[in-house]
Structure 1
Amino acid sequence: MHNAMKLKSPIPLLRRLAMIATLALAAWGTVPQAALAQGVAVLVNGDPVTDFDIEQRTKLATLSGQKGTSRQQIIEELINEKLKIQLLKRYAIPDVDKDVDNAMTNMARRMRQNSREFADQLAKQGVQIDTLKSRMKADIIWQQLVRGRFQASFQFNDKDIQQRLQAKHPEGIPATAAYDYTLRPILFIVPRGSPSEAFAARAKEAEALRAEFQNCDEGISRARGMRFVAVRPPVVKNSAELPAALRDILTKTEIGRLTPPETTQQGVEVYAVCSRKNSENTPEKKEIRDQLYNETFERLSKEFLKEIRSQAMIEYKQAKP
């Protein structure tokens, strides 16, 4: 009886504490010297978030219009970003870096710049291009993982859409026209670096073709015979998926005619409207489907992020404010 009531030896507990301390020291030992020189704010599974990272992300947030973001909010964003990128060690996602480069190129193009010019513009604002790339990489990884892991949750049927429509219009759902358009893009090519006069000249050629274009069969053949004109394969676009301005243009364009010329980076482009068929996918249904997707993604994203944070070793090296 006396032996049974003796306290257990503290040695196993001390061993466990020693092991934890050893692991923590090992993680600290793997931190790059450059990171130590910058000042480490947090370790995320041994991966450092430095004061420089925080400074960079703060500048990027300001450029993005996120004013008033606290240092701790930035730190938590960076912790989440590290965790998302670290998921590449557990899940195989092909061509992530290529997707990041493509997204960066598209972002630069929207600002009428190439990738180098865009990076230089960011640098002038004190933001390194790798800061933006890291955030984009985390977002791309996260989007793919959440969609793949919870794929069935993003399947919305007609009943889901109708319920939202009825709740929005209790007095009755209004009739809205929607169409599937078959379009033929026609590009009047302008070499890169050409002056504005070259674009203006090609726009005149496009307008001349537009005046003569009466149907797709004959008009497409005529366009193919023109110099430095590319006629692309047919594309089918639903009116619900188009911006309102383009939807309005297509509505006003007769079947077999061309849309007004539009200047692009490659030249001057018009679209031949070859057919228009009624569709059940109205813009309002598309809007509701997008709402359902965003609500579902946000809910599942929070749950998944909470899960991976609970499994992570997050060690704050600086006191929280």
Structure 2
Amino acid sequence: MTTKLTFRILIAALFCAAMTGGGTGVARAQSVAVMVNGEPITTFDIEQRSRLDKLSHQSRTRQQILDELIDEKVKIREGKKYGVSPSDSDIDSSFASMSSRMRMSQDQMTKMLAAQGIRPETLKSKIKADMVWTSLVRGRFKDSLLVGEKEIQAQLAATGGGDKGSTESFEYQMRPIVLIVSRSSDGGAMEARRKEAESLRSRVQSCEDADRIFKALPNTAIRGMVVKTSADLPPALREVLDKTPVGQLTAPEATRQGIEMVALCGRKPTTADTPKKREIRDKMFAEKFMAKSKDYLREVRNAAMIEYRGVDAGRSGR
């Protein structure tokens, strides 16, 4: 399973490294450390992964890094057996998403890696293995990974989560509204639009009112309908929406685009997960996934042909 937290730490570390201009050239000398099902893992591969470790502030032994590389080899091979093989465009897309979260292009991310002596293929190979394994485990064991309603209710009861917020869920129908303020404008422009928004709130008693009023205003946008459940929204926004009468607007807030409000067009009970149930479901799914992943990986690794070379000769698998 992709370790999102590790990637976030890695991205932050990359940013810091780029700012300090650190890094050394990529070493070229390499020798085979391990053969996995006829495929080599070289000392260069180990060194590259070690550099990634340093960027993400991980502290692992050489053998732990080597074990991870072996695991990735057997994951990729197992994926091929079942026809699970992400395309280059899939991997590039994931790499691009990481770059985007850093507000940079793929080329900029590549240069940041290069500054630390790391090839982009090093990170992409890890991305590929994680994508393959996640698809494999989810696909092959999807029935056993399902979290049933009885399991959730039992967990709620065990944790005393029977309060109203844990047992009720709502569906919210909303139309976001933006009174646009140019980024080049001074603080006075933002305050003027805030006062304008406040004066308009009292005139809106339905979403039809909101549509009519804000479509007629210059430099103003009213978005299409957005439907979310309680579990989809952060607690602060849920609290605001629960206190807002249907048909009216939330209080104006300053954002990067200008002054924003939300017209609450509908709020009704739903059988969808409550935030607490969603939290329990996600946690139980993750626990099942990790357990199944661990057993499955042990199985495919035990069946793999792993031959240690050189200084690694004589070692055994985990």
What range describes the TM-score normalised by the shorter chain of this pair? Answer: 0.7 to 0.9
TM-score, normalised relative to structure 2: 0.73
Match of 1:212 in 2: 200
Residue type of the alignment partner of 1:173: G
> Once the 2 structures are TM-superposed, how far is the Cα of residue 100 of structure 1 from its aligned partner?
2.8
Structure 1 residues 199 and 65 mapped into 2: Cα distance closer, same or farther (>3 Å)? Answer: farther
* Secondary structure of the corresponding residue to residue 38 of structure 1: coil
Aligned mates of 2:199, 2:296 — CA distance in 1: 56
Cα contact 2:171–2:267 (8 A) shared by 1: yes
Aligned length: 278
Deviations 1:69-102 (A, max 9, x none): 1111111111111222233422334754333333
1:69 aligns with 2:69: no
Amino acid at match of 2:208: D
| CA deviation vs aligned residue, 1:164-222 (integer Å, no higher than 9, x gap) | 111112xx7222153222233457889xxxx9426989967974457535232232355
TM-score by length of 1: 0.72
CA distance in 2, matches of 1:36, 1:43: 19
User: How do residues 146-295 of structure 1 correspond to structure 2 at under 5 angstroms?
Assistant: 146-169=137-160, 173-176=162-165, 177-185=168-176, 196-197=183-184, 207=194, 208=196, 212=200, 214=204, 215-224=206-215, 232-251=223-242, 253-255=244-246, 256-258=248-250, 260-263=253-256, 271-280=262-271, 281-295=273-287
CA-CA distance at 1:152 after TM superposition: 0.6
Deviates more, 1:252-261 or 1:270-279: 252-261
Between the aligned partners of 1:152 and 1:288, the Cα distance in structure 2 is: 18
Inter-CA distance 148–231: structure 2 relative to 1 (3 Å threshold) = farther
Q: Where in structure 2 are there 5+ consecutive unaligned residues?
A: 1-26
Q: Which of 106, 109, 115 is matched with 1:115 structurally?
A: 106
Q: Which has the larger radius of gyration?
A: 1
Question: Quick one: which amino acid aligns to residue 65 of structure 1?
Answer: H
Q: Assess, with a 3 A threshold, how the Cα gap between structure 1 residues 95 and 50 changes in structure 2: closer, same or farther.
A: closer
Distance 1:174 1:262 in 2: 34
Write the deviation string for residues 222-266 of structure 1: whole angstroms up to 9, x where unpaired: 5555677765543322222333344445445553325635437xx
Q: Distance in 2 between matches of 1:93 and 1:227?
A: 52
Contact 1:187 1:229 in 2 (8 A): yes
Task: Provide the identity percentage.
Answer: 41
Q: Give the aligned residue type for 1:115.
A: Q
CA distance in 1, matches of 2:304, 2:142: 25
Counterpart CA distance in 2 for 1:296 and 1:222 is 51
CA RMSD of aligned residues (A): 3.4
Matched, 1:125 2:116: yes
The AA in structure 2 aligned to 1:257 is: L
Structure 1 SS opposite 2:162: coil
Give 1:108 shift: 2.3
Q: Note closer, same or farther for the CA distance 1:272–1:65 as it changes in structure 2 (3 Å cut).
A: farther
Question: Aligned to 2:30, which of 27, 31, 38?
Answer: 38
Query: 1-side partners of 2:259 and 2:89: how far apart?
Result: 28
Label 1:205 to 1:96 Cα distance change in 2 as closer, same or farther (>3 A): farther
1:282 and 1:63, CA in 2 relative to 1: closer, same or farther beyond 3 A?
same
Q: Give the match for residue 136 of structure 1.
A: 127
User: Among residues 63, 70, 80, which one is paired with 1:89 in the alignment?
Assistant: 80
Q: Secondary structure at the match of 1:300?
A: helix
